[in-house]
């Protein structure tokens, strides 16, 4: 009994140490963000962007939605002329990259000034994210970490939609067993940023969630039709012909604009100076490994928390196009994993590395060090190992129970 209590106490101490370190990292990064704002000529930052940087796209897109014909400004030249009209000549270049049905949700932001809209956007997004991801247990320590996560700070700094994406993706996984239709609706709404749900269809098919698949497909179809009805059918042709080619060209050729924010194998290879074919080859290899990991994990029912953590991690490994602010989804992953029995120093170390990665990606990118995707790859490998070990433990327990004449329900 004394040995068991000692082990339990040691595990609690390790978890407490992890909590303090994770909290300290979050506070440090929040302090850097506050210091940055204090030295900014508000509402602009020292580089000339409006605070909330990418929120300029969301707010301007909302204004375009109110015109009823946003497609006229999807082309890069037209879009940046409009930016210059709104925010002044010489405003840093932006491109429009969101699918048209994104505008169905953002148009009310155009009814208020930029700064007020930005504050409301962040506040509502954070509240929704905490309400969804903290719904399981409503524990104070979880809510504290979810609120102060480095990805949260980065998402606010960038004015991005990571809060809403995390609420949709994590929320869908949370209700998948209980309310499959609702899960499909949430996954369908995730089509505002489809590359982050790239592995969801595979997981849903492997687990036979056909009602969820149908609900997600119906949701996407309804959004596409609604956007075409509201803005005209040519909103989609303009998006495909004008917006998407520019986004692809900038991503593939002018990667310097993204390298400090993208912890992907492709972008790391480009930072290392590898030519485009070599970078694409590396990404294909990593993507296939991530897909294989998901197939193995969901081929049969395994530990739910570890499986979902693997799915989300594999999604970031499988796509070449993922940003550090999208890593808000890892907040609930980390808070789930940190409470598990059997965590070792290696597990806590990997969790801390992924926890800090939204900030470390920027530092590594600026330094030209192409290593930011490695913590995600290491976490995925460790999750696969733990899933295999939990399966062995379960089989051993069932065998011992069977030898003792005890019936075990899997």
Q: Per residue in 99-125, pLDDT tens?
A: 999 999 999 999 999 999 999 999 999
Residue 10 pLDDT level (bands cut at 50, 70, 90): confident
Tokens of 234: 């040519």
pLDDT, tens digit (0-9, with 9 covering 90-100), for 369-392: 889 999 999 999 999 999 998 877
Q: Does residue 74 sit in helix, strand or coil?
A: coil
Which of 333, 332, 354 is closest to 133 using CA atoms?
Answer: 332
- Backbone φ, ψ for residue 50 (5° rounding): -70, 150
The Cα 290–Cα 112 span in angstroms is: 43
Q: pLDDT at position 395, please?
A: 56
Average pLDDT over residues 15-43: 93
d(CA 278, CA 285): 11
H runs (alpha helix) in 39-75: 55-67
Alpha carbon distance 362, 372 (integer Å) = 9
Taking the C-alpha atoms of residue 38 and residue 40, their distance in angstroms, rounded to an integer, is 6
Q: What is the mean pLDDT of the chain?
A: 89
Give pLDDT, residue 6: 43
pLDDT digits (tens, 9 = 90+) for 313-356: 999 999 998 999 999 999 999 999 999 988 999 999 999 999 99
3-state secondary structure 235-284: HHHHHHHHHHHHHHHHHHHCHHHCHHHCCCHHHHHHHCCCCHHHHHHHHH
pLDDT at 280: 93
Please say if the pLDDT value at position 155 is more than 50: yes
64-78, 148-162, 250-264: the lowest-pLDDT one: 250-264
CA dihedral in degrees (94, 95, 99, 101; nearest 10)?
50
- Report the first-to-last Cα separation within the chain, whole angstroms: 28
> CA 167 to CA 133: how far, in whole Å?
7
Task: Please name the helix (run of DSSP H) or strand (run of DSSP E) that holds residue 385, with its range, or none.
Answer: helix 374-403
DSSP letters, 123-157, are HHHHHHHHHHHTTTT--HHHHHHHHH-HHHHHHHH
Structure confidence at residue 409 (pLDDT): 36
Q: Rounded CA gap, 223 and 229, in Å?
A: 10
Q: How far, CA to CA in Å, does 78 sit from each of 31, 82, 252, 344?
A: 38, 6, 22, 54
pTM for this one?
Answer: 0.91
pLDDT reading at 68 higher than 90:
no
Q: What is the pLDDT of residues 167-226, one digit of tens each?
A: 999 999 999 999 999 999 999 999 999 888 999 999 999 999 999 999 999 999 999 999
Q: For residue 108, what pLDDT is reported?
A: 96
Residue 72: which pLDDT band, with cuts at 50, 70 and 90? confident
What does the pLDDT look like over 238-286, one tens digit per residue?
999 888 888 777 766 666 667 788 999 999 998 888 998 999 999 999 9
Q: Check pLDDT > 70 for residue 394.
A: no
Among the listed ranges 70-74, 143-147, 277-281, which one has the minimum average pLDDT value? 70-74
């Amino acid at each position: 009994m004394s040995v068991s209590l000692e082990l339990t106490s040691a595990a609690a101490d390790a978890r407490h140490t992890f909590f303090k370190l994770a909290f300290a990292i979050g506070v440090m990064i929040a302090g850097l963000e506050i210091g940055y704002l204090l030295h900014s000529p508000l509402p602009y930052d020292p580089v000339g962007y409006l605070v909330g940087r990418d929120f300029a796209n969301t707010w301007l897109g909302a204004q375009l939605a109110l015109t009823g014909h946003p497609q006229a400004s999807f082309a890069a030249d037209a879009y940046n002329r409009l930016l210059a009209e709104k925010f002044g000549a010489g405003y840093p270049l932006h491109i429009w990259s969101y699918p048209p049905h994104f505008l169905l949700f953002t148009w009310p932001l155009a009814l208020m000034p930029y700064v007020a809209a930005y504050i409301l956007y962040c506040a509502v997004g954070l509240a929704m994210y905490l309400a969804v991801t903290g719904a399981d247990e409503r524990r104070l320590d979880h809510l504290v970490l979810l609120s102060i996560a480095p990805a949260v700070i980065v998402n606010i700094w960038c004015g991005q939609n990571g809060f809403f994406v995390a609420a949709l993706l994590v929320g869908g996984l949370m209700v998948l067993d209980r309310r499959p239709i609702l899960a499909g609706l949430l996954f369908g709404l995730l089509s505002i940023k489809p590359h982050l749900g790239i592995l969801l269809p595979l997981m849903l098919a492997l687990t036979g969630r056909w009602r969820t698949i149908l609900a997600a497909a119906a949701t996407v179809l309804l959004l596409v039709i609604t956007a075409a009805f509201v803005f005209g059918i040519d909103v989609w042709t303009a998006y495909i012909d004008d917006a998407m080619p520019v986004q692809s060209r900038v991503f593939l050729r002018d990667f310097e604009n993204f390298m400090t924010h993208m912890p992907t194998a492709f972008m790391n290879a480009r930072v290392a100076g590898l030519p485009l074919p070599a970078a694409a080859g590396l990404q294909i290899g990593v993507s296939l490994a991530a897909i294989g990991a998901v197939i193995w994990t969901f081929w049969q029912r395994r530990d739910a928390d570890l499986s979902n953590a693997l799915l989300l991690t594999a999604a970031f490994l499988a796509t070449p196009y993922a940003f550090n602010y999208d890593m808000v989804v890892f907040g609930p992953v980390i808070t789930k994993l940190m409470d598990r029995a059997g965590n070792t120093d290696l597990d806590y170390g990997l969790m801390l590395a992924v926890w800090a990665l939204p900030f470390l990606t920027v530092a590594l990118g600026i330094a030209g060090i192409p290593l930011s995707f490695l913590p995600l790859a290491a976490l995925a490998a460790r999750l696969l190992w733990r899933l295999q070990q939990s399966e062995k433990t379960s089989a051993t327990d069932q065998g011992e129970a069977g030898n003792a004449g005890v019936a075990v329900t899997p």
